Structure 1
Amino acid sequence: MCDDHGATTPFSEAEAAAVSAFTERLGLDGMIDVHTHFMPKPVLDKVWAYFDSAGPMLGREWPIAYRADEERRVAALRAFGVQAFSSMLYPHKADMAEWLNGWGADFGARHPDCLQTATFFPEPTAARYVAEAIENGAEVFKSHIQVGAYSPLDPLLDDVWGVLEQTQVPVVIHCGSGPAPGEYTGPAPIRELLQRFPKLSLIVAHMGTPEYEEFLALAEEHDEVRLDTTMSFTDFSEEGAPYPPELLPRVAALQEKILFGSDFPNIPYSYVHALRACERLGLGDDWIRSVLHHNAAALFGR
């Protein structure tokens, strides 16, 4: 189905019905997706251009399944029954994060079902604008160690982590080495960070791909460390970084610390596939209900 400009619509009625059927079978009115991307258009256009080029960090073709304008993407999530979502945005250089935070606050004001999202970068002004973002209603932060190419242990972030630990505002942090390792990715810097700030509320994106066991252990060891399912368990991810089946009993035991994330719209498959990928782990309906809704509802008070 296409609009007048030839762009595909971001979802079909059949897919929306399939997602609704999935959640209704579980007795859920909807779900919460903690890992969705909304950004200023010039920034998102550059992100999509990188995916289109199958850039070196990706190493494979990566078609964008939900390429559409902003309002149609919001409409898609609502059609899927997503009751709350995020606007994961992140800088790749200095003097960018504060501007993104202003955009994120405006987006959140226009879309109350969005968890108001903010970000940061190691720079002298970071602690100030992070504190201001929290005062202005930020509910979650995004830290992208890989794209930002910065160390979470950078001294310029010490006061940022201090504010975030004190306020307990969660941070979705892409710190695993997938899809390609960066200079500062991997579990070692995060382990050291948590030694210094043990009560940080971190949500490790992508289940920590591909260092699954190490990040699973951090979630077991630290009360405020959680994992999100973003892209994990899907056919696409299983091809390159399969989740070790021997870890699934530990994943089941962490039922209350795993949150559903999709990476919408930047996924190369259907939204419902991400749900079915979680279901086929065979961890039970209670586990799925916790992951799709209950855990994030408790964490964010939604």
Structure 2
Amino acid sequence: MKLIWRWFDNVNWAIGYRLPEMERVKRLHHNGIKNFTTLNYAHKKNMAKSLNDWTYANFRNWEGAIPFGTFYPEEGVLNYVKQAVEEYGFLGFKLHCEVSKLNLNDPELRDCFLYLETKQIPIVVHTGTAPLPGEFTGIHFFKPFIQTYPKLHVIVAHMGAHEISAYASLLGDYPQLALDTTMVFVDFLATGNASDVDSAIPLLETFQDQIYFGSDFPNLPYNLNHPISKILDLPISDKAKQKILYQNAKNRFFK
């Protein structure tokens, strides 16, 4: 976490919740967040399994935590993914294509994706080009991936920004595909310009069953109540707001 914060400091990105671990959990609860996912990811080999082990050893200390793991294209990856699901009871995984320089179409990950598809375990994937593009980010990498695993539960972080409309165009054809709202409908435009954000608002109504609230807490340059309030103030139905902020996640993780 210190290394991540150091990177943000170098690009003048304020960390709103640079607090000890348990204090961060308290702040979540204070803002009405009853449950939240643990989203670690590896940026090199021989790292992902240790992150999973650490999460398993600690997540029970964080009231409301929903344990997510991660994985990386490397020898033994399927074994520790199975361990995370079958022994640790993890309910999802996180991948970051930009930071990890990870190609979703890497054949070394095929067995993992097929396994998670069968188990109906979701993955949150940062595959968009915002705030920075990467070697393997963008819709041209994601589209063949979702075509290969059409029943895989995938939640695209940041609604796929800067290509929100391209990712949203896939939602009708892939009912297991979803987007999250992380840093999209806020005043800090790291994921697009104002017109891009405004044009995405109707998508929240149309695809209300396939949108999840996301925040990127604790690495926020604003208060946590800001993205929550912005969703509540949008010109969409109360039913859509309830699904996005609460019900969709409840249906996914508390069946």
Task: Give the TM bin, normalised by the shorter chain.
Answer: over 0.9
| 8 Å CA contact 2:131, 2:191 repeated in 1 | no
| 8 Å CA contact 1:256, 1:291 repeated in 2 | yes
Cα drift, residue 246 of structure 1? 3.4
Rounded to whole Å, the distance in 1 between the matches of 2:53 and 2:249 is 24
Q: Which residue of 2 aligns with 1:64?
A: 15
Cα drift, residue 233 of structure 1? 1.1
The letter for the 2-side match of 1:94 is K
- Count of residues in correspondence between the two structures: 253
- Higher CA-based Rg: 1
What SS does structure 1 have at the residue aligned with 2:93?
A: strand
Cα drift, residue 191 of structure 1? 1.2
Rounded to whole Å, the distance in 1 between the matches of 2:191 and 2:153 is 31
Runs of 4+ in 1 over 6 A off after TM superposition: none
| 8 Å CA contact 1:105, 1:117 repeated in 2 | no
1:228 paired to 2:180:
yes
Rounded to whole Å, the distance in 2 between the matches of 1:220 and 1:245 is 21
Q: Percent identity?
A: 36
The letter for the 1-side match of 2:250 is A
Which residues of structure 2 form unaligned runs of 5+? none
Rounded to whole Å, the distance in 2 between the matches of 1:171 and 1:221 is 18
Q: Which residue of 2 aligns with 1:168?
A: 120
Higher relative contact order (Cα pairs below 8 Å, separated by 6+ residues):
1
Q: Which residue of 2 aligns with 1:45?
A: 2
Change (3 A) 1:240 1:194: closer
- For each residue in 1:108-156, what CA deviation from the matched residue of structure 2 results, as whole angstroms up to 9, or x when unmatched? 2323511111000111211111111001201110000010001011111
Q: Which residue of 2 aligns with 1:287?
A: 240
1:98 paired to 2:49:
yes
Greater Cα offset, 249-258 or 180-189: 249-258
Cα drift, residue 241 of structure 1? 3.3
The letter for the 2-side match of 1:275 is I
Q: Which residue of 2 aligns with 1:114?
A: 65
- For each residue in 1:40-78, what CA deviation from the matched residue of structure 2 results, as whole angstroms up to 9, or x when unmatched? xxxx01000000011xxxxxx210001100000011111
- For 1:210, which of 142, 145, 162 is the aligned residue? 162
Rounded to whole Å, the distance in 1 between the matches of 2:199 and 2:136 is 27
Rounded to whole Å, the distance in 2 between the matches of 1:94 and 1:252 is 40
The letter for the 2-side match of 1:200 is L
The letter for the 2-side match of 1:152 is L
Rounded to whole Å, the distance in 2 between the matches of 1:48 and 1:250 is 32
The letter for the 1-side match of 2:34 is Q
Cα drift, residue 106 of structure 1? 1.7
Q: Which residue of 1 aligns with 2:253?
A: 300
| 8 Å CA contact 1:73, 1:265 repeated in 2 | yes
